[in-house]
Structure 1
Amino acid sequence: MANEAKFREDPDLAFLQYLDYKDLKLLADTLIKDVEGTEQWTGSLKKTLLANMKMYETEELLYKNSWKAIVAEIQLFGGDTLVNLVRRKGVLYQEILYDVAEKIGVDFHKGTINTVELEEKVLRKLFGKVKTLDDIDEINQTLKEKGYLGLTSLKESPLKTIKNSVGGGSVGGVSGGLLAGLNIAKNLVKVNPWVAAATLPLTAKDITAPAYRITIPIVCIVAMLRIKFDANKDSYNEF
């Protein structure tokens, strides 16, 4: 249960504990695999869920009791990898939402907009209107067409892929400069991960930066789950 140990109390994601297990499974699946079904090379949620399966008899109990691990995975994907290594936790959802909104060009002012309002702006910016979970296939297709899902997650670590592709100077357009940047990162992170995250060469920094291929669809799903939750609060037990 490594993920749960990295869980941070997060008021914007606390409602997830009351959701139907199928909604939690949707979140988990989005964190574990991309829209093409390829498993993310980073993250440990799948390993956590497999471990938790030994304790819970049904799929419903598994996901209901793993909501903190799911939140922790969201928080980790939203943070810079190098900084995460030192603080051993990710970032709060509000920071992830701000990053996603800025990434897709939403006009907003921090401190004067609440989470619900900003999530609505994100959905309208991406899809022209506020979508529901019934539109999930259309949502994934739109994000893919807009290029917000990235190059899909690699089947193996990109560091390994790069090393296998580079020999001597440059192969396939990939230069040894990136490898040099990654070596710099290894040394810098031992001294100051925040400095490392800010000063890495751009290509290396892209690898350690928040995983927008994951955080953008996750923010969309969280936003729609919040709408569903707010509309059906009375039907959720313990709330």
Structure 2
Amino acid sequence: MSNKYKQDKNLEVLRYADNEMLSILVKYLTTDKNGKTRYTETLTKNKKFKEAKGDYQQVWQLIAGELQHFGGDTLANLFRRSGVEYREILIDVCKKLKIKTDYKADVVDIEQALFAKLFNDSWEKMSESEKAELRKELKIDASLTSSAALAAIIVAIRMGGFMSYQIAIIVANAVAKTLLGQGLALATNAGLARAIGIFAGPIGIAITVLLSVPAISGPAFRVTLPAVVQIAAIRQQMLKDDKDIF
């Protein structure tokens, strides 16, 4: 028995994700904040999932279906026999975080707005020396004031491109370290590795605060927020790889 996958063009990116990135997503879906198996998850009980023996690319649709069910209302899922599409889950997460953006835009644009919000929250928790080091690694003009540097980074995130990819990986890595105690298994250059190290503490604080707000931090949100961050990072990784090829 497993949660049925509903065809979703915005989750097709999981078909091409590497196993390391998918493994983080699986952990968000199957384990709680204490590292114990979630009572409501169905993945680890699924025969096909178990037969894959950790080769998550074989079972990406099962993983996608699990997320769709976490994003939908439990009672409603029983009637429609499937969860909700990724776009609805993403928008729900962003609205809970009070992100102002065009919710009719493409999914990648909404994901970038999410990264901008998380980066902004984390920037506020950084020391001046951390900000200076991060600006150096992201190649932001050193003459800019702190607020101007932040504005430049936010604009770059929303425009897409390489910095959008950098921020996505930095944020996703920090969220994984905070919630799972492990980062992303990625081959990164020295500059990006240093930026990841600088960012881990501040975003860890920001994520912990967000997940402790009673109005938004229900069990489903504790799954959907990090899951959406991971999927958005996977998408940025795919977009970067496409640009590298062409």
Report the TM-score, using the length of structure 2 for normalisation. Answer: 0.62
Aligned to 2:75: 82
Confirm or deny: 8 A CA contact 1:80 1:210 kept in the other structure: no
Q: CA deviation at 1:142?
A: 3.6
Instruction: Kindly indicate whether residue 74 of structure 2 is the aligned counterpart of residue 70 of structure 1.
Output: no
Quick one: percent identity of the two aligned structures? 31
Give per-residue Cα distances to partners, 1:102-143, cap 9 Å, x unaligned. 0001012332x2111110111111232633144332387345
User: Relative to 1, partners in 2 of residues 1:143 and 1:89: Cα closer, same or farther, differing over 3 Å?
Assistant: farther
Shift of 1:233: 3.5
**SS, match of residue 9 in structure 2:** coil
Whether the aligned pair in 2 keeps the contact of 1:148 and 1:213 (CA below 8 Å) is yes
Larger fraction in helix: 2
Q: Identify the residue that residue 237 of structure 2 maps to in structure 1.
A: 228
22, 30, 48: which one pairs with 1:52? Answer: 48
- 1:28 has 2:26 as partner: yes
Q: Which moved more, 1:67-76 or 1:222-231?
A: 222-231
Q: Give 1:234 shift.
A: 7.8
> Which residue number corresponds to residue 131 of structure 1?
168
**Aligned-partner SS, 1:2:** coil
Using a 3 Å threshold, how does the CA distance of structure 1 residues 41 and 102 change in structure 2: closer, same or farther? same
The answer as to whether partners of 1:78 and 1:210 remain within 8 angstroms in 2 is: no
TM-aligned CA distance change 1:233 to 1:89, over 3 Å: same
Distance 1:211 1:54, change over 3 A: closer
Q: Secondary structure at the match of 2:41?
A: coil
Secondary structure of the structure 2 residue equivalent to 1:118: helix
C-alpha distance in structure 1 between counterparts of 2:31 and 2:50, whole Å: 22
Per chain length, whose mean CA-contact separation is higher, i.e. which structure has more relative contact order (CA < 8 Å, sep 6+)? 1
The equivalent of 2:112 in structure 1 is 120
1:212 aligns with 2:221: yes
> Size of the alignment, in residue pairs?
174
Q: Which has the larger radius of gyration?
A: 1
Q: Please list every run of 5 or more consecutive structure 1 residues that lacks an aligned counterpart in the other structure.
A: 152-201
> Could you tell me whether the CA contact under 8 Å between 2:65 and 2:83 is conserved in 1?
yes
**How many angstroms does 1:226 deviate by?**
0.7
Distance 2:26 2:79 in 1: 25
Match of 2:90 in 1: 97
Q: TM-score, normalised by structure 1?
A: 0.64
Contact 2:43 2:49 in 1 (8 A): no
